Structure 1
Amino acid sequence: MSDGGRILPVILCGGAGTRLWPASRESMPKQFTPLVDPNASTFQATARRVADAAVFGRPTVIASSEARFIVAEQLAQAGIAADILLEPARRDSAAAVAVAALHAARQGPDTVVLVLAADHVIEDAAAFTEAARRAAAGARLGQIMTLGIAPTRPATDYGYIRPGAPVPDAPGVHRVERFVEKPDAAGAERLIAEGALWNSGYFLFRADVMIAELEAYAPAILEAARGALEGSSTDLDFVRLDAEAFARAPRTSIDYAVMERTERAGVLSVAFAWSDVGTWDAVWQVLPHDARGNAIRGRVELVETTGSLVHSESEGLTTVVGLDDVVVVATPDAVLVSSKARSGQVKDLVGLLREKAHPEADSHRRMYRPWGWYQRIDIGERFQVKRIMVTPGGRLSLQKHFHRAEHWVVVKGTAEVTLNDQVILVHENEAVYLPIGSLHRLTNPGKIPLELIEVQVGSYTGEDDIIRVEDVYGR
């Protein structure tokens, strides 16, 4: 058995999480945001959940190219090493699963793969590990397994699975009789009464079995994934899938491409608490509540308010009076107020914001980069002020601007500044001036984070007024 019989975890990180705006945006999707645990993102919690080396092998992460440095940084914070494969474009889950199966087959065709999402919440890691171990037994017999969650309510935002006949020699494993799309409330109650399970979206399979089923039911996806993997290139610690080949993959989910068509679908019923935290209502459900049923995060005060979620990332105080069953989310640059029941419509709101070209639709005020982050403090006609943090060893690109000059004031740490042909050390409470058109770079040579205030002055201060001459991060 490949890798000593251990399961190969593959974590999919491609979602945008627009229903959890304004905390989740394109620039920092929900899986990388500490929405539930203030000390860890759901991606980090997922990676830790499959860190038991007795059961799981070295994980593989499949993420977008834009998220690569966030993935690497959060894995490093969690103390977990992983292979990171970069998707050049979004093609839904079928193409990602095809890449995962082909990647795993390089270790051995009988390698058992566990595909899991980066944005789910499971508190009982031991129960999850035991479920993966039991489902792997079905996978080794040739089933493409999924974990079916025992329902706790008639949810209309989840798909369902009808279990069928038991699979011999795999205790607790049943064949899938039918997958059911998201039902209405009456349909959900009927499905639960008939013994249906929530479809968690977790899959376990032998690499050779999934490849064979893709060949039978989705050959174009398999061909594109094979070409993308064979044409991949190494970039720092990442593997970039070939963009031209990957783009040929039809955009569809693994559910539609294979699971609803294969004769090999199997399901293991599990009872641990699970949520895909897809809406603010779902976030409210998994957070602890006060005596009035409120879930609170950040600087918040409530009066005569019940059953609500109030999430504040702002330095200011967020207050709510006399409301029931609402969602209030305050970030430094945007505020959302919604009923819990209609919180799924936040995705429609984000679409409207994009139509009207509101930058807050996709970009946070704090923008993460491979070297650290920057955050806008103020902006006006002919000026912009930013706070910048550079991690130890971090280095910005060698660049110049045609429309603005910059002033850097160091408030913490020491900056190594390249200015044309000079290299200058700038210490705390010291400043440096970068004229328009000058070639410059900022590096943190120290062992603590470097923080500085940047004042831009000029006719245009947009991010696209950057001419990169050299960049160690390959941007």
Structure 2
Amino acid sequence: MRAVIMAGGSGSRLWPSSRGLYPKQFLSLCGDETMLQTTLQRVAGLNDDGLSVICNEEHRFIVAQQAQAFGASSDAIILEPQGRNTAPAIALAAFEALDSIGGDCLLLVMAADHLIEDVDAFHAAVAKAKIQADAGKLVTFGIVPESPHTGYGYIQRGAALADDAFVVSRFVEKPDEATAKIYVDEGEYYWNSGMFLFSAQLYLEELKAHRPDIYDACEKAYAGKSRDADFLRVDKAAFAACPDDSIDYAVMEKTDKAAVVPLSAGWSDVGAWSSLWEVGEGDTSGNVFSGDVLSHNTTNSYVRAEHRLVATVGLDNVVVVETNDAVLVAAKDKVQEVKSIVNELKAQNRSEFLHHRHVYRPWGVYDSIDNGDRYQVKRITVKPGAKLSVQMHHHRAEHWIVVSGTAKVTIGEKTIMLTENQSTYIPIGEVHALENPGKIPLELIEVQSGSYLGEDDIVRFEDRYGRA
């Protein structure tokens, strides 16, 4: 069995903590580990045929860093040139698994941003699903519903199979409240988890039978693949021509081989801030707090303080989320509408929809701590042994002041070493590079000045991360 973790996402549902370049699977929302790392931990011991992660190209270094920090080794980080939904993504993973393993294997497919509290129950369900997958079934996991939830699709079970599995009778779209209550009362319906277990070969055969256009596009895209360290890139043009469709619509609703295994393991897709209130440990007033929070006469609310004190007075059924550059205040039953705020930020071309003040790079991170007309100040952290690209800027000069650690700086033909409290200046148009040759993180302050300070004013001549 090979674990396949889908780590795409737009970062809209849990804004402002989640952003386009840093969606929720990379956040620590329910503990010390990120949701991706929790998923990696969940599949440990189940992936004797290896591990694949599918993600957007913009997220590749974050995926690699979080997996490495957690001690997980990925056999392939498959990069999607653009999102095409789950059916094509899983097809790429199936082609890669057959190619790298040299024979058929089972694929355990799951999202990187789901919560499962009872891992033992999950493993038991996987063992039952494996029996059906070995028997030629495309197995999905149906969550035993705890309430008439209108935010999930449903799966109706049919005839019983061995080991507590069932034939899938039908898939149902997200229902209204009254219909959802009927489903729960009948006891034959499960929430659609979006997790699967099936043979890689069988999935491709069923995809080819029911959606040959998706199959052909993915086959061509994979045929044009190239490898770059841990990353597998597919042919961009071929994948761009692939139709956008989910595995449910493309395969599971059409095949006669679909089976469902019930799962009761404290599952949540963490699809909104209210989900974290539902799964969190509340106080006697029904509140779930995270971070530095003081409250008075506040009830049934979720408050998350990431960088500073948040105080609430006289609130009920609200969500408050504070980050270092934005604050969200919403009625708890309206948090799904945060997407409207994200769309408006995008329409106004504001940076808050795309990234945080902290911006993660393969060499480290920078924090934009101040800016104004013709200047910008950043706090830059470079990991030990890491190096920024050899680059130049057309419109800005830069001053670097080392706060801690050692900097190896190349300016034109000259290379110098800087330590704590030392500084240097890079004129406009000068080719330069920054490297941390030490054993501890390099911390420095960068002051930019010039007529244009955008991140696209970078001409890279050489880059060890493949961005030149």
Distance in 1 of aligned mates of 2:167 and 2:121: 22
2:270 corresponds to which letter in structure 1? V
2:282 corresponds to which letter in structure 1? H
2:323 corresponds to which letter in structure 1? T
Deviation for aligned residue 1:417: 0.6
1:76 corresponds to which letter in structure 2? Q
Aligned residue number for residue 390 of structure 1:
382
Aligned residue number for residue 303 of structure 1:
296
SS of the aligned residue for 2:267 comes to coil
1:109, 1:206 within 8 Å by CA — same for their partners in 2? no
1:15 corresponds to which letter in structure 2? G
Aligned residue number for residue 3 of structure 1:
none
Aligned residue number for residue 30 of structure 2:
36
Q: 2:149 aligned with 1:191, yes or no?
A: no
Q: 1:272 aligns with which of 251, 265, 270?
A: 265
1:124 corresponds to which letter in structure 2? D
Aligned residue number for residue 284 of structure 2:
291
1:134 corresponds to which letter in structure 2? K
Aligned residue number for residue 408 of structure 1:
400
| Structure 2: gaps (5+ residues) | none
Aligned residue number for residue 140 of structure 1:
134
Aligned residue number for residue 24 of structure 1:
18
Distance in 1 of aligned mates of 2:48 and 2:253: 27
Distance in 2 of aligned mates of 1:108 and 1:217: 25
Deviation for aligned residue 1:51: 1.2
Aligned residue number for residue 368 of structure 2:
376
Distance in 2 of aligned mates of 1:436 and 1:103: 45
Distance in 1 of aligned mates of 2:237 and 2:3: 27
Aligned residue number for residue 238 of structure 1:
231
1:31 corresponds to which letter in structure 2? Q
Distance in 1 of aligned mates of 2:2 and 2:432: 44
1:148 corresponds to which letter in structure 2? G
SS of the aligned residue for 2:457 comes to coil
Figure out how many residues of one structure are paired with residues of the other and give that number.
Answer: 464
Identity %, equivalent residues: 50
SS of the aligned residue for 2:448 comes to strand
Deviation for aligned residue 1:109: 4.8
Q: Comparing 373-382 with 289-298, which one deviates more in the overlay?
A: 289-298
Deviation for aligned residue 1:108: 4.9
Q: Comparing 223-232 with 338-347, which one deviates more in the overlay?
A: 223-232
Deviation for aligned residue 1:151: 0.7
SS of the aligned residue for 2:397 comes to strand
Deviation for aligned residue 1:312: 1.4
Across the aligned residues of Structure 1 and Structure 2, the Cα RMSD in angstroms comes to 1.1
2:85, 2:245 within 8 Å by CA — same for their partners in 1? yes
Aligned residue number for residue 103 of structure 1:
96
Deviation for aligned residue 1:145: 0.2
Deviation for aligned residue 1:318: 1.0
Deviation for aligned residue 1:104: 2.2
2:431 corresponds to which letter in structure 1? L
Q: 2:108 aligned with 1:114, yes or no?
A: yes
Q: 1:204 aligns with which of 182, 197, 204?
A: 197
Deviation for aligned residue 1:15: 1.3
Distance in 1 of aligned mates of 2:104 and 2:236: 28
| Structure 1: gaps (5+ residues) | 1-6
Q: 2:147 aligned with 1:153, yes or no?
A: yes
Deviation for aligned residue 1:310: 0.6
1:165-199 Cα distance to aligned partner (Å, 9 max, x none) = 022xx311110001111111111110111121111
Distance in 2 of aligned mates of 1:118 and 1:273: 16
Deviation for aligned residue 1:65: 0.7
Q: 2:220 aligned with 1:227, yes or no?
A: yes
Aligned residue number for residue 14 of structure 1:
8
Q: 2:32 aligned with 1:48, yes or no?
A: no
Deviation for aligned residue 1:131: 1.2
Aligned residue number for residue 463 of structure 1:
455
Distance in 1 of aligned mates of 2:26 and 2:240: 25
Distance in 2 of aligned mates of 1:109 and 1:176: 28
2:11, 2:21 within 8 Å by CA — same for their partners in 1? no
Deviation for aligned residue 1:382: 1.1
SS of the aligned residue for 2:168 comes to strand
1:351 corresponds to which letter in structure 2? N
Q: 2:52 aligned with 1:57, yes or no?
A: no
Q: 1:451 aligns with which of 437, 440, 443?
A: 443
1:109, 1:207 within 8 Å by CA — same for their partners in 2? no
Aligned residue number for residue 126 of structure 1:
120
1:213 corresponds to which letter in structure 2? E
Q: 2:169 aligned with 1:177, yes or no?
A: yes
Distance in 2 of aligned mates of 1:164 and 1:124: 26
2:11, 2:22 within 8 Å by CA — same for their partners in 1? no
Deviation for aligned residue 1:432: 1.1
Deviation for aligned residue 1:290: 1.4
1:36 corresponds to which letter in structure 2? C
Distance in 2 of aligned mates of 1:78 and 1:124: 20
Aligned residue number for residue 473 of structure 1:
465
Deviation for aligned residue 1:114: 0.8
1:376-414 Cα distance to aligned partner (Å, 9 max, x none) = 000001110000011111110101111111111111111
Distance in 1 of aligned mates of 2:230 and 2:207: 29
Q: 1:258 aligns with which of 243, 246, 251?
A: 251
Distance in 2 of aligned mates of 1:284 and 1:390: 36
Distance in 1 of aligned mates of 2:104 and 2:387: 43
1:50, 1:56 within 8 Å by CA — same for their partners in 2? no
2:466 corresponds to which letter in structure 1? G
SS of the aligned residue for 2:115 comes to coil
SS of the aligned residue for 1:18 comes to coil
1:399-449 Cα distance to aligned partner (Å, 9 max, x none) = 111111111111111111111111111101111111111111010111111
SS of the aligned residue for 1:46 comes to helix
1:398, 1:469 within 8 Å by CA — same for their partners in 2? yes
Q: 1:75 aligns with which of 62, 67, 75?
A: 67
Deviation for aligned residue 1:57: 3.0
